[in-house]
C-alpha cells in the first residue's frame, strides 16, 4: 500500500494550509512513512540550531501520522525522544516512522529524523523516537470539550 501527498494538517495548521513544523510532503510505502521537511528559522534555539521542543513536536507529529495513514485516528499516550545531534535550521531533513506492533487500541510506533541525503547510507540520524498512540473515535475532541466545560463550571461554583 502506498499513500502520498502533502502533509496531514492538524486543526492548528489548516488555516494557513501548511504545517507549522515544516513538513512539506509524506508518503507511506510498505508500512514506512517517509516525510520531507525543514525546521523553520523561527524555531531557532542556538546559532542555526533548532529548539529541542521543535524536535520533540515534529517527532510527535510524524509518528502520530502513521495510524492515520492506516485509517485510524489516534492520540499520543507516551512519547520518548533520543536527541542524537543538533538539528540545523532550514536544511532538508527526512523523517521515517513505522508501526513496531499493535496491542488492542495501542499503536507502538518508532521513527527517526535524519539529514536528507541522496544516498540512504549517507543520512545522519539527528533524533530517534518511540510513541504509544491510543486509537480513539471521532467523538474524542467533543468529549474533551464537554469535560473541560464541566471542569470550568465546577471551578466557578
Handedness of CA 139, 144, 145, 149 (dihedral sign): positive
Over the stretch 95-152, which tens digit does the pLDDT of each residue have?
999 999 999 999 999 999 999 876 666 779 999 999 999 998 777 666 766 677 778 7
Position 45 scores a pLDDT of 93
pTM score, two decimals? 0.83
Beta strands in 30-104 (DSSP E): 32-37, 44-46, 49-50, 74-83, 93-103
- Return the pLDDT at 102: 97
Output the CATH code of domain 2-156. Answer: 3.10.129.10
Sheet containing strand 93-103, edge to edge, reads 2-5, 23-29, 32-37, 93-103, 106-115, 125-135, 74-83
The DSSP H or E segment spanning 106 is strand 106-115
Task: Give pLDDT, residue 104.
Answer: 95
Amino acid at each position: 500500500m502506498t499513500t502520498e501527498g502533502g502533509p496531514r494538517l492538524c486543526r492548528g495548521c489548516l488555516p494557513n494550509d501548511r504545517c507549522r513544523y515544516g513538513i512539506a510532503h509524506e508518503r507511506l510505502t510498505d508500512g514506512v512513512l517517509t516525510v520531507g521537511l525543514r525546521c523553520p528559522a523561527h524555531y531557532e534555539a542556538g546559532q542555526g540550531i533548532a529548539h529541542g521542543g521543535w524536535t520533540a513536536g515534529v517527532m510527535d507529529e510524524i509518528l502520530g501520522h502513521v495510524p492515520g495513514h492506516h485509517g485510524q485516528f489516534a492520540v499520543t499516550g507516551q512519547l520518548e525522544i533520543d536527541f542524537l545531534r543538533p538539528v540545523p535550521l532550514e536544511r532538508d531533513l527526512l523523517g521515517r516512522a513505522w508501526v513496531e506492533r499493535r496491542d488492542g487500541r495501542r499503536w507502538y510506533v518508532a521513527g527517526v529524523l535524519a539529514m536528507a541525503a541522496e544516498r540512504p547510507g549517507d543520512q545522519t540520524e539527528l533524533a530517534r523516537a518511540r510513541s504509544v498512540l491510543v486509537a480513539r473515535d471521532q467523538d474524542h475532541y467533543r468529549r474533551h470539550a464537554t469535560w473541560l466545560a464541566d471542569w470550568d463550571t465546577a471551578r466557578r461554583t
